[in-house]
Structure 1
Amino acid sequence: MNNISSETKITIAYILIAFAFSVAMRMIWVYQFSGVEQFMFNGQFMINTNDGYYWAEGARDILSGVSQENDLSPILTPASQLTAFFASILPFSFETIIFYMPAIFGSLIVVPIILIAKSIKNLELGLIAALLASIAWSYYNRTMIGYYDTDMLNIVLPMFLLWSIILGVKTNEEKYLLIAPSIILLYTWWYPASYSLEFAFFCLVMFYTLVWDRRKLYNFKLLSMIVFAILPVAVYIKVIFGVISFIIFKQDKAQKYIYYIFVLSAFFLLFSGGFDTILAKFKGYVYEDTISSLNDGLNLHFYSVMQTVREAGQITFETFANRISGHTITLVLSVVGYIYLTYKHRIMLLGLPMIGLGFLALVGGLRFTVYAVPVLAFGIAFLITQVSLMMPTKRLKYLSIVAFTMAILYPNYQHINSYRVPTVFNADEVKVLNTLKDIADREDYVVSWWDYGYPIRYYSDVKTLTDGAKHNGDVNFLVSYMLNNSENISSKMARLDVEYTESKKVKVSSNIEQMTKDYGFKDTNDFLLSLETDIKLPNKTRDIYFYLPYRMLNIFPTVNVFSNINLMNGEKGKDPFFFISRNFKETKETIELGNGILFNKLDNSLSLNNQTVALRRVIQTFYDKNMKLQKNIKLSDFTASLNLIFMADYKTFLVVDEKTYNSLYIQLMVLEDYDKNLFEKVITNPHAKVYKLKI
């Protein structure tokens, strides 16, 4: 220890302090929800992100050694493999490991930040930046306790890449010719969508070299190694190119060929097709293409899921600033500070790719803000250290650092303290799925909306038709169609979709198109109409269950959008009438539901924007002492098209049109009114209900 320099000791100390701070801030969630039984299952906290159950399923199946065709389990993904590795060597439960992994791995962001600051001889800057970046809004949100997802390393790895590039350009040491591409390979392995950022780093290094360092051969060596690492080819080819180039770079006689190797690598990159990948990603998040079409066969049109994903939505500048720095003023000062920092230390310009990707959030959605967090944290931290240098005494210097650091951290702490994200499912919902695990076979299918696909597979160990990755418009159309149509039609579509998914007969782009052709139709609308008749269904090869949670009411209009479309021409259908109210006010004669909707108890009518509308039915549901659903139904006007449903135990009012009222979801989940020839009630509780398809 005596041989370690004081600078190294301080570096290690700062890393440990920042890491401990980052983890401690994430433990606030645990403190807030300790004792909340609905957030726990089998005595362990559950995770709070849907996607986490995807990686958890893969890790579970790796550990068990069981997986089968079409189960969509990600046993080959890095996140699942890494989790399975730690679960196999650590003395903690599987649930504990996936719950705390994001906090531990996400907090590693402090390491490259402080190491980069060390390279420019300003460790205080590194500590301040690490403290801020580790808990900034968007970074905290995506690496908090329970947010088990690839995000726990998606910013850590590019920051290590930035560190290796900066150190390579500054020191010209040969080891960074291997470290930088190795990090790229690791980053690509962990997050295959990292190509765009890696390419941006290449462009910045090339720009930096051509403007300020074009006579330095080392930079062209580094650029060549980066290119070989990011080429969209097999890993072994990248390694071969990289090793051969590194060997050549070490030969003194080969120095005159460095430029030729660089030009050759750039040529490979130009014609590798990588630009198409970048443009496709950019278009997917920036351009609002709500309707997608499959351009072969019947050229069917489907609704695009991208426009329903909140992460891809437009955000205000205030939200943008808050998510990056915690406050608008902090963001402005961070940008000013970063400009000043690059003026003093030009090498920090190499962080621009991450800032650029972060600023893409202004047009591409809030998910991108997280990339700008660590680099802009350097900006505000640099301003703080520069102001401290103006203090007349050392004591005032450190007091100013502490005061300003506390000021920029406080808004982010406030966010953490108020950001009380619930678990994906509550304990009662998970009990339903865990019970289903003992009923259903691993080859059976559970039909539900894609939001719930991953948790269903994790807790029930079954198959699903759609999930957080498999939710293209053609897939969502069929599930949406099942949930929004009558039991008779929906049951047939469920059997068709499952059997077509499992069969080898689908030769075209979608199940629905194959069905249309197999049943002798050229117009998919005609095929859908045929479901009202007694068509011959495929032979049953497995059971099908419908999982219908109460929480789906909140997104049911969105679920409807995906099947409310003419597949042949892309025209959207008329929006169904669906209104949900949990904030209502009751008087002696009326109930004010909100949004100008008033229920008149005297004549069972509705007032919609001061116009009186008759109701077809007025229904009240409630659970008796044995937790059996009971219904009081008042038939009013059979010529009317709207229905009022009061779910008493949920304190929820629904106003729905006749088609929505007769939909599978409303009939089976809300009313438990089902055709016993088609369905069997399997599991019910107020939070979720499961029905088994009989046909």
Structure 2
Amino acid sequence: MFKRQTVLIFVIILIIFSLGFSLRLESTNLSGIPTDEKVYYQDQNGLPYMYDMDSYYNYRLTKNYLNHGYLGDTKVNGTEWDFHSYAPSGVPMDYPPLIVYLTAFIYKFFNLFADVPLMVICFWLPAFIAPIGGVVAYLFVRRFTNEYGAVAAGVLTVIAPFYFMRTVPGWFDTDMFNLIFPLLIVWFFVEALKSKDIKMKGIFASLSAFFMVLFAMAWNGWQYLFYVLVLFSIFYGLFRKVRGKNVKNFLLVALTFFPISAVLIYIFTGFFNVLNFILGPKELLSIFSTNGLWAPWPDVYVLISELQPPSAVDLVSGVGPAVFILGIIGILVISMVLRSKKLHENYLNQLNWAVFSLLVLWTVTGFLTLIKGIRFLLMVIPPLTIITGLCIGFCADFLEIHSKKNFKRFAMIFILILITLPSVVVINDNLSSLTPRMNDDMWNAGVWIHNNTQNDTVVVASWMYGHFFTAISDRPTSIDGRLAYVETMPVRDYDVAFTFGDKSPSTSREYWIDKAYTTDNETLALGILRMITTTGDAGYLNLDNYTQNTTKTIEILNNILGVDKNTAKNLLIENYGLKPDQADNVLRYTHPNNPRPFVIVTDNSMINKGYWTFYFGSWDFNKLSGNCTYSYGTIHETGNILTTDDGITMDLQTGNLTWNNHVPYSVTVVSKGTLKNDYLDKNSDFCVIINRDTNRSVVLDRQYENSLFSRLVVEKQDTKYFKAVYENNNVIVWESKY
């Protein structure tokens, strides 16, 4: 009997893992892309490019670790430092290392037998790791109910749509760990609570602590689950004390789990990771302050979709329709069972109020974390799938008692199919729209930069592609996907590696880049880019020390960055009251004597996101908002009539043009690389750019007619100070000509 049961468990585990892995393989077929276009999104290994740009960040850190034994580029005063990110100053390395350690180990192992590129290992790893989450969920739920409930939990975990889409091959990020470790931590914590053997309590609590340490090494958000266990332990301990129940055994669990976790997290991830846990709630409150965390600078994090709260549809489809519905129903059903002594004798008799309370607290906390963004659905999925599994187990036991055996078997199989189908439908729909963010054009541009620029050249590109250029071009970037390193905010005042404390890194970097794009003063744009690529934030921060007013600092910099050093010095002294030595100190950073080389990378997708470029670039530091008119469209030509899908109508013979029935101040037409300007209404407040070579149109404020964005991104024309040095169908690399 025992052998048969063991074989059954093994077979079920194999089925759950195989299901999770095989379904994820579909993403490699690029099913949402026409067959003749698929090769454009595939790399030299014949695999799709990575789906998420963070994948290239993890790839680069793994290369660093393989090359010299640590994640950073180098060590500064004993601290690992990443000079590729947030150039030129770089940042102290703060990244959870488990993904790097695991990938490096697997890479080394496979290369004992064959020559397997690191990129290939990175590509496939998520599809092998993620299904383990379903296996753990199955084993967890099996401790409290029957095989039907356990199988339901396991299958629903591996196909939870949000988790699924972030763990397909080519999504090489830490999300692959974010269900496995929480489930293991809570499972062994629960086993410690339930065990009546003192020795086993200590062992289970220690195992839970061990997996908590691994979780802290896997994801910067490990603290949320730790908070859940802290709150539960406080309330549960007080409850037992008030009820006059034995507290000693629970204290053994708590005093084993928490100290071991804290000490090992300190040893393996550092003091500041522990400090982050302590200071995290304070930093969370600052996010909800009136002006936000980054004021007076614009909050660039509004651009990151995963950090925006989910809609109701996103929530239900993300965890899985059946999991959401049955998870909520399950809380009610299980509480009803636990309240009734008679019901509890027949159903879920291995479950108690302590375990159930922990699951509910975990669920509620998970829902609360969603205010920080949709990515925290990963906090909701584990407890809801566990509760759903328990609910399905209850149904199976109910049918066992109240129906014939054969009917129960067919009914439960039907129920299992019924609850999994909605998630499969959601997954299939998501896969049809899944497209790599990388393509041949961007890859070729990255390789060109690597082969044709100096090693210290700074790449100025959309933050979205920053990780790609640091990894493939092996060049530092002014901004990348980590933006302002918000994860480090709680500890910056205590970490001497952050020279400017909470002032840098900051979202100021995005403002300056966007300001350079939106101005029509090329010398100002050049001055801004020269400053941020050579001295970073030092210019505005040093000036801030004298003005004690960031808004005033911005005004001054926008007036001096476009003029030569001597003129700028006179302005600082005569117009703004700085002393000569103060002016010289500021100018060291704003007008550096030996500016670093830099390149600008533009691509067609920037037109789609142009609104935010102008919104941030036009930021009003008094009103703490931007203001701009911006629209873009695709061109359609029928005879002599040109229209766009955002409301432009143009007669190509007469040149007359309207946008939503309004006449623009001017219209610029790009055709076969040449420009033609016509001025139609001097009283209008917007202008139109029609690029017939790319079939794209842009409507923008009149003041931005000759902005750097208009010239480089939309019109694709060389300017006085910027020249295209590499170009393909989608991407242009520009060098400055100063």
Short-chain TM bin: 0.7 to 0.9
Instruction: Determine if contact 2:669/2:677 at 8 Å carries over to the other structure.
Output: yes
Equivalent residue for 2:612? 558
Q: How much has 1:211 moved relative to structure 2?
A: 3.2
Question: C-alpha separation between the residues in 1 aligned to 2:451 and 2:318?
Answer: 43
Once the two structures are TM-superposed, the CA of residue 432 in structure 1 deviates from its matched residue by 1.0
Which residue number in structure 2 is paired with residue 262 of structure 1? Answer: none
Task: Report which stretch shifted further, 172-181 or 521-530.
Answer: 521-530
Report the CA distance shift for 1:442/1:598 in structure 2 as closer, same or farther (over 3 A): same
Q: Conserved in 1, the CA contact under 8 Å of 2:134 and 2:156?
A: no
CA contact 2:330–2:388 (8 Å) conserved in 1: yes
| Secondary structure in structure 2 of the residue aligned to 1:650 | coil
More deviation, 151-160/529-538 = 529-538
- 1:443 aligns to what? 456
Aligned to 2:253: 222
Of residues 33, 40, 43 in structure 1, which corresponds to 2:42?
40
Q: 1:49 aligns with which of 30, 52, 55?
A: 52
* Corresponding residue for residue 87 of structure 1: 107
Report the Cα distance in structure 2 between the residues aligned to 1:273 and 1:613, rounded to whole angstroms. Answer: 55
Q: Which residue identity does 2:302 align to in structure 1?
A: Q
Aligned counterpart, 2:440 = 427
Matched, 1:685 2:737: no
- The 3-state SS of whatever aligns with 1:360 is helix
- 1:207 and 2:218 are equivalent in the alignment: no
C-alpha distance 596-552 of structure 1, shift in aligned 2 (>3 A): closer
| 2:728 maps to amino acid | N
1:64 paired with 2:63, answer no
Tell me how far apart the structure 2 counterparts of residues 287 and 694 of structure 1 sit (CA, whole Å): 44
Which position in structure 2 is the counterpart of 1:265?
none
Q: 1:22 matched to which residue of 2?
A: 20
Task: Return the alpha-carbon distance in structure 2 between the equivalents of residues 121 and 382 of structure 1.
Answer: 6
Cα shift at 1:195 = 1.2
Residue 572, structure 1, aligned to residue 625, structure 2: yes
The aligned length equals 634
Unaligned segments of structure 2, at least 5 residues = 75-80, 339-347, 485-505, 567-590
Deviation at 1:601, TM superposition (A): 4.5
Residue 692 of structure 2 is aligned to residue 616 of structure 1? no
Report the AA paired with residue 653 of structure 1: S
Secondary structure, counterpart of 2:141 in structure 1: helix
Deviation at 1:597, TM superposition (A): 4.7
The residue number in structure 2 matching 1:626 is none
Superposition deviation, residue 282 in structure 1: 5.9
Amino acid at match of 1:529: N
Higher RCO by CA contacts (8 Å cutoff, separation 6 or greater): 2
Q: Deviations over 1:329-364 (max 9, x none)?
A: x52222112343453422233223431233126644
CA distance in 1, matches of 2:95, 2:279: 25
Letter in 2 for 1:149: D
Report the CA distance shift for 1:614/1:644 in structure 2 as closer, same or farther (over 3 A): closer
Whole-angstrom CA distance in 1 between matches of 2:655 and 2:269: 72
1:180 alignment partner, one of 204, 208, 226: 208
Instruction: String of CA shifts for 1:57-115, please: whole Å, max 9, x gaps.
Output: 11122223393562239696412233222222224321211111111111110232122
Larger mean Cα displacement after TM superposition, 652-661 or 61-70: 61-70
* 2: CA distance, partners of 1:369 / 1:225: 29
- Between the aligned partners of 2:695 and 2:103, the Cα distance in structure 1 is 41
**3-state SS of paired residue (1:441):** coil
Contact 2:189–2:204, Cα closer than 8 Å, also in 1: yes
Q: Secondary structure at the residue paired with 1:643? A: strand
SS in 1 for 2:509: helix
What is the aligned partner in structure 1 of residue 719 from structure 2? 675
Once residues 417 and 470 of structure 1 are traced to their aligned partners in structure 2, the CA distance between those partners, rounded to angstroms, is: 32
- 1:655 and 1:477 mapped to 2: Cα distance? 21
Amino acid of the residue matched to residue 329 of structure 2? V
1-structure distance, mates of 2:94, 2:280: 25
Equivalent position of 1:334 in the other structure: 327
Rate the CA distance shift 1:417–1:643 in 2: closer, same or farther, 3 A: same
Query: Which residue does 1:247 correspond to in 2?
Result: none
Post-superposition offset of 1:615 = 3.8
Partner of 1:114: 138
Q: State whether residues 645 and 654 of structure 1, in contact with CA within 8 Å, keep that contact through their aligned partners in structure 2.
A: yes
2:224 aligned with 1:196: yes
How do residues 268-287 of structure 1 correspond to structure 2 at under 5 angstroms? 274=277, 276-281=279-284, 284=287
Question: What is the correspondence of 1:306-321 to structure 2 with a 5 Å cutoff?
Answer: 306-321=301-316
The offset of 1:10, in angstroms, is 2.6
Distance 1:467 1:494 in 2: 16
CA offsets 1:556-584 (integer angstroms, 9 cap, x no match): 211222232244x35435x23221012x6
Give the superposition deviation at 1:455.
Answer: 0.9
Q: Does 1:415 align with 2:459?
A: no
TM-score, normalised by the number of residues in structure 2: 0.79
Partners in 2 of 1:110 and 1:375 — Cα distance? 13
| Counterparts of 1:377 and 1:490, CA distance in 2 | 52
Q: 2: distance between equivalents of 1:151 and 1:381?
A: 22
SS of corresponding position for 1:644: strand
What SS class does the counterpart of residue 130 from structure 2 fall into?
A: helix
Tell me the amino acid that sits aligned with residue 330 of structure 2. Answer: G
Report if aligned partners of 1:59, 1:75 keep a CA contact under 8 Å in 2.
no
Is 1:635 paired with 2:678?
yes
State the SS of the aligned residue for 1:562: helix
Sequence identity (%): 18
Contact 2:670 2:715 in 1 (8 A): no
What SS is found at the alignment partner of 2:698? strand
Residue pair 1:620, 1:633 contacting (<8 A) in 2 also:
yes
Aligned to 1:298: none
1:322 and 2:322 aligned = no
> Does the 8 Å CA contact 1:519/1:527 hold for their aligned counterparts?
no
The residue aligned with 2:266 is 235
* 1:379 aligned onto 2:433: no
Distance change in 2, residues 1:511/1:81 (3 Å): farther
1:226 Cα deviation from its structure 2 partner = 2.8
For the Cα contact (< 8 Å) 1:19–1:107, is it kept in 2? yes
Structure-2 separation of matches of 1:316 and 1:67: 40
Q: Which residue of 2 aligns with 1:460?
A: 473
Tell me what 1:647 maps to.
Answer: 691
Match of 1:499 among 493, 517, 534: 534
Post-superposition offset of 1:183: 1.4
Q: Which residue of 2 aligns with 1:546?
A: 600
> Is the partner of 1:655 in helix, strand or coil?
strand
Farther off after superposition, 201-210 or 131-140 = 201-210
8 Å CA contact 1:205, 1:223 repeated in 2: yes
Give CA deviations for 1:204-252 in whole Å, capped at 9, x if unaligned.
Answer: 2443344358404221111122322454997249999xxxxxxxxxxxx
Aligned partners of 2:233 and 2:254 also within 8 Å: yes
Separation (CA, whole Å) in 1 of partners of 2:693 and 2:268: 62
Deviates more, 1:40-49 or 1:600-609: 600-609
Secondary structure class of the residue paired with 1:607? strand
Q: Which residue of 2 aligns with 1:607?
A: 658
- The one-letter amino acid paired with 1:457 is T
Preserved contact between residue 206 and residue 257 of structure 2 (Cα < 8 Å): no
Secondary structure of the equivalent of 1:479?
Answer: helix
The separation in 2 between residues aligned to 1:600 and 1:648, in whole angstroms, is 14
- State the one-letter code of the partner of 1:656: L
1:145 alignment partner in structure 2: 169
**Aligned-pair CA distance for 1:169:** 1.0
* Mapping for residues 287-302 of structure 1, pairs under 5 Å: 289-290=291-292, 292-293=294-295, 301-302=296-297
1:170: how far off? 1.3
* Cα pair distance change 1:24/1:354, threshold 3 Å: farther
